[in-house]
Amino acid sequence: MTDIKTPPPQNARAAIFKNRNFLWLTGGGAISMLGDQFTLIALPWLVLKMTGDTLILGIVLALISVPRALLILLGGAVVDRYSPKSVMMQTKYINTALLGVLSALIFYGRLELWMIYALALGLGISTAFSIPSGTAMLPRVMQPAQLQAANGIMLGLRQLTMFIGPVLAGVLISVFGSQHQGIVSDAKGLAAAFFFDCFTYAFSAWTLSQVVMNDKASPAGASSATGTAPIWQSLAEGLRYCWNEKQLRSCFIYWSAIAFFIMGPVQIALPVMANQLSNDASALGLLAGAHGAGTLLGMAWSGMKPGLRFGNLGSTMLLIDFIIGVLFIPMGLIQASWQGACILLVVGTLGGFLHVAVFTWIQKQVPLNMIGRAMSMFMFIFMGIGPVSAALTGWLLRSISIQQLFMASGSLLLLIVLMATQVRTMREVADKSQPA
């Protein structure tokens, strides 16, 4: 298979780092993404230390993720009607306030469970608007010839923060944590972690204020005036398209099954397993950091070997998921954090490689006028189904062990893959050229 690449002109790529708007946007975005990883580690650790209840942990994660998934399409419509910069700025102010309040409540020992629920819900709603505003910023800051390289830099930074952020967060909580302060152990460390994320939102709001929007850089035909657009009719049209395309429908059903049976156990089980292994937040940071490092490595591998396939894309996807299922089964039997980190490094590498391949396939499979809705559907699968799975997993861990959970999850993934091999449309998924 021959891969056709159309890189931007050399002078366009060199001009990226001379673009003050891009530097302001990227610098603030990188700091903010790093801070997000601190909250992703600190929040589950806080809930476990405060309650010791995996069901409550699942509910808290669902309060963030479910509103984000349900409102993300509405967020996109709001961004199209107003300026993405103004929408993003408002979400940064809101998140700064929420995380600042949470940090203060923990530090002064005034935090109650209902407050965590309310703050988690606020973060989830805010994120539903910040995600689409973030994706809409670059086309209004960069010239079209620079977009591919600029997006590559942003994606690489995101994965880098997913690698180093959890490790730094775990170390911060462990170093500054106090075992006997307030209503929860590690209170000082947790307060410091949330305050750091609060600071990153405030800092990135300042850097964003320095960005000057360039409407001339927007793609041809782009418009911010969608106030009269029939949003629900457009959404229904996108859903019909995804259902009528057989390969897309098969893949979406397959990914939905994976999100339900795999994502929830990963989100809930890793903090629980880290707590059982060492009762130290640094263990959770090591596990999450290993997975992030693997994902970054896998994406780089996919970039260097874009045509690497075991047969076609469908067979490659099924083979990789089968290997991940095999690796999941012994996860609950590990006796040390480094063992789990090694497994998660391999899982992340395989997943990162597949992540790039699947995204590229959707972009080439779907007509240009449907890509936004198809990708929103893809995001909804993992942002909507995953949290429901997390809540169910938290309930299940009240009656089963962590070993049984990983054994069941890995076995179910193997079963899903074997069933998918019997579906012709899944076996025939192949890379293709961008539709006209």
Q: What pLDDT sits at residue 432?
A: 65
Query: Pick from 32, 339, 43, 294: which is nearest to 163 by CA?
Result: 294
* Tokens linked to 300: 């780089």
Across 231-242, b (16+ Cβ under 10 Å) vs e yields eeeebeebeebb
- For residue 408 the two structure tokens come to 């069941």
Domains and CATH numbers, the chain: 15-213 (1.20.1250.20), 233-436 (1.20.1250.20)
**Identity of the residue numbered 55:** L
Res 4: pLDDT: 38
* C-alpha dist (Å) from residue 281 to 168, 185, 276, 278: 10, 11, 11, 8
Query: Smallest Cα–Cα separation from 298: which of 351, 343, 357, 360?
Result: 351
- Digits of tens for pLDDT over the chain (436 positions)? 334 344 444 555 566 777 788 888 888 888 999 999 999 889 988 998 888 888 888 889 888 878 887 887 777 667 766 778 888 899 999 999 999 999 999 988 888 899 999 999 999 999 888 887 776 677 677 776 665 566 667 766 777 887 788 888 888 888 876 554 556 677 888 999 999 999 999 999 999 988 887 655 444 334 444 445 566 766 677 678 878 888 888 888 998 888 888 777 777 777 777 777 776 667 777 887 788 788 878 877 776 777 788 888 889 999 999 999 999 888 888 888 888 889 989 988 998 888 777 876 776 677 755 655 666 677 777 777 777 787 788 888 888 888 888 888 889 999 999 999 998 888 888 876 444 3
Amino acid letter at 283?
Answer: A
Helix axes 54-81, 386-396, angle to 10 degrees: 170
pTM: 0.65
pLDDT at 392: 82
Neighbours of 220 (CB within 10 A): 5
**What is the rounded distance in angstroms from the CA atom of residue 328 to the CA atom of residue 320?**
12
**Whole-number pLDDT of residue 356:** 72
The pLDDT score that the predictor gives to residue 225 is: 41
Q: Tell me the torsion sign for CA atoms 245, 246, 247, 248.
A: positive
pLDDT at 93: 95
CA distance 402 to 276: 10
